[in-house]
Amino acid sequence: MNANDLATRHCEPRKGKEHALDIHQVSGYLRQLPGWQLLDDGMAIAKDFKFSDFHQTLGFINAVGFMANREDHHPDLEAGYGHCRLLWSTHDVGGLSLNDFICAARVEALLGR
């Protein structure tokens, strides 16, 4: 599944270890998502997005927040004047699930990438 396919999927409730992706699945999806990095021993993916000012940064956060609420899957956010770092992980799974990659791909699509 490439990034465009991922971005057209919707998150589904995924609870329990059986929904955790293995390292082969994780590296396959990561290859489709430039700039996203594996963190915390493979428990999360993150990317830092740069913007020219706080208005742009806040617009991005609002767009991501809207998408995240619609998908019922929520990122950790860290932001400053000209950047926002997003981290996706599935608490209900205790690691990475397909939902994290769907949301990362949806974020790229929001930016027209």
Ligand X SMILES: C[C@H](O)[C@H](O)[C@H]1CNC2=NC(N)=NC(=O)C2=N1
Binding-site ranges for ligand X (CB under 6 A): 13, 72-74, 89-92
CB of 9 to ligand X, least distance (A): 16
* Cβ-based nearer residue to ligand X, 15 or 31: 15
* Cβ-based nearer residue to ligand X, 53 or 62: 62
- State the Cα–Cα distance between residues 106 and 11, nearest whole angstrom: 11
What residue number has its CB nearest to ligand X?
A: 92
CB of 17 to ligand X, least distance (A): 13
CB of 36 to ligand X, least distance (A): 15
* Cβ-based nearer residue to ligand X, 13 or 112: 13
**Using an 8 Å Cβ cutoff, are 74 and 32 in contact?**
no
* Cβ-based nearer residue to ligand X, 14 or 79: 14
